Chain A
């Protein structure tokens, strides 16, 4: 078996399931290519999962019950806190809980793990994290609705879908942003809560989703963009009346909230086209050369090395520019790049990579992934709980802290008991690593005191810890 099968499975994919290396070995590149552009490969069946509109309704009921109880409470009452906890747990159990389980289960069992890594890369690029009760219900539906269907299309379309999704509008405070000179603001003047502009989404689009912090934009560009974005919001109980016929919990454009006038961004004038104005700006941003450069760098860094080979970055950058941001073309270029196939595995696995590849190697099925949620938390990478809109870090220095390594070893110790029920240690290592398994590790495994220790050594070996 060639090492390329292992590289395809581990570096591009999420780790090999039992027997998978053998299948990939027939033609590793073809195996990867067949996953590109294939809508089925990124689809996650939504059985029993709530759409973002349904999640929004669940959030509404939660908020109403919460408000009613707060009004009724005469004094601080422990029962209030208790009821509140129960309600929040209920909200999570309807939304994020099953979403996380479905996502892990899909990643562990999918026959198209390169497509799934591609999805997770873009989901992290457009981070929509659960950071409070308002955002908790949405990351799952955000990923299924705004990311998965669009990761093989054009970057510009993905950008629009992600940044106008209900989840993102709530997460980055766009839903509350109102043009200071908008019709609604005029009507509201003198009232208790004066409405205003919120720059959060505009700033993060420029800094994180497109140009990058050193992408050459100014504070004036941020403010102008924020003004252009006003009007884009979520159809809540009150706003729904302003956008006739809109389904509750969907993205709407409300002219009455929109800041009138033309906008100037990156020196270019965008006339007052209302709803189209922000979309035109997004399209313009997507075409900036700094975006091509930045996406190329992030992809090369994610797939190949923390300090990626400049030749690969240039190759991807050119592919982005020539294809006008066609993400399938980008993926194909990545697969065809010789720099992506260097024998040495240079990427240290994130906790997410480590857990998913362990479960895949052990042949885990749907039921055995259920208990994994808390493990992701213990190892520091709960799905959709990235600490900031910047997303999870993608370099070893952020993940290889001493304590983090020890936590992995301790978890491996637990996992080894389960894996040991099916596998002999050396067979397990060979299933996962094939020809990448070194003689040194083999020797260490075969000398282990117990089967459990042998499996821990396999899981914690330098070659399993990298991809």
Chain B
């Protein structure tokens, strides 16, 4: 079978820098006036649901009830390369794939090998091999390599500047004027923490109920009320407006939260599918908001780590290692699967997708593509240390 052979071949080959980049198409796309957008999916997105390795012989048995199928089935995915399908909620992104404006890297990971969200996010953003006291981020260090000018600036959509954008180069932040509400996930965790504390648990339960009624009963479900941590599109639209403005910054960072699906993750539909749909809407909002600027835009989507290959006892997945990352945008000449597929017959620590590919190579690819920076210079000056 073609699918299986493709996977097998990929599994045997090692990842090298040469393999990842250096193609003529990338080099041609390089232009100094491009825009770079980095989207961090905080909470660890399940890569095996976003990009389904339906061709892998072990996939169905590991994923059971939450497994998706290859293109065409009832829980069918959207076709990528042989053996891999995109989650059906990611329609906009699939459209980009079909136009050759998207690539993806599976089994991607930063050098981090533990399972703490914040430490993992820190290292993902630092872009270093291990955490140093320097506390600057890779996107900022790359900005510092751009020619001086108003363009040489990064904007964070949010109330503070995340680590990835901190450092010597100019960085700013913009937050929606509304005071942010705590999301349902945080409230659920507090409810757990308050178990046994009658006063606080009763007060919180009543508050959540009142809020639900005030929101017209939609709170637990989709993208309204406090459940609206899934509403990423408005943030993407804001980023687009700022980037597309005359003299706008060269880069933007967006943080999308809520990917920590320990329970009732769902498959083609459900909790994670809703998140993916929101992510897809955000990409669409970004493309539409950027207008003509989209043609010179490169977007990288990454998460701090993947999730366990096996489903846990509550229909969810736990903290893992290898995940999936995307490179897309009008400036991307892609349509490729980047890196190596390690297969599911051997798992990292007998639980996780093997971290076969260093996600920093994809970051370097994105920076090179967007800003016309020299690839070797990016790799040596931004991603070492």
Contacts and interface: CB of A to CB of B under 8 A. Distances in A.
Interface in B174-195: 179-182, 185-187, 189-190, 192-194
Nearest to B118: A451
A457 B121 contact: no
Contacts of A461: 193
Interface stretch (A188-196, A226-234, A292-300, A397-405): A397-405
Interface stretch (A68-76, A319-327, A406-414): A406-414
Contacts of A406: 182, 204, 207-208, 211
B257 A450 contact: yes
B200 A457 contact: no
A440 B43 CA distance: 20
Given A348-B199, A444-B192, A449 B43 contact: yes
B43 A413 contact: no
Contacts of B182: 406, 409-410, 412-413, 456
Contacts, number: 97
Most-contacted residue by chain A among B180, B199, B258 (CB, 10 A):
B199
B42 interface: yes
Interface in A415-460: 417-418, 420-421, 424-425, 440-441, 444, 446-451, 453-454, 456-457, 460
A123 interface: no
Contact of A400 (B187, B203, B211): B203
A162 B159 CA distance: 43
Q: How large is the interface on B (under 10, 10 to 19, 20 to 34, 35 or more residues)?
A: 35 or more
A435 B229 CA distance: 34
A110 to B, nearest CB: 28
A404 B186 CA distance: 16
Interface in B149-196: 158-160, 179-182, 185-187, 189-190, 192-194
B203 A456 contact: no
B206 A448 contact: no
A441 B193 contact: yes
B160 A421 contact: yes
B312 interface: no
B180 A409 contact: no
Nearest to B122: A451
Contacts of A403: 207, 210
A447 B44 CA distance: 12
Nearest to B199: A400
Nearest to B211: A406
B194 A410 contact: no
Given A402-B204, A454-B118, A449 B193 contact: no
A255 to B, nearest CB: 55
B180 A410 contact: yes
Contact of B179 (A404, A414, A447, A448): A414
B189 A462 contact: no
A239 interface: no
Contacts of B159: 414, 417
Given A403-B210, A449-B42, A440 B193 contact: yes
B179 A410 contact: yes
B116 interface: yes
Contacts of B257: 449-450, 453
B117 interface: yes
A450 B121 contact: yes
Most-contacted residue by chain A among B180, B185, B189 (CB, 10 A):
B189
Contacts of A401: 203
B190 A457 contact: yes
B197 interface: yes
29 contacts: A400-B199, A400-B200, A400-B203, A402-B203, A402-B204, A402-B205, A403-B210, A405-B200, A405-B203, A406-B182, A406-B208, A409-B182, A410-B180, A410-B182, A413-B180, A414-B159, A418-B160, A424-B118, A444-B192, A449-B42, A449-B43, A449-B257, A449-B260, A450-B121, A451-B117, A451-B118, A453-B189, A453-B257, A456-B186
Given A406-B208, A409-B182, A462-B200, 7 more contacts: A402-B203, A405-B200, A409-B186, A413-B180, A418-B160, A424-B118, A453-B189
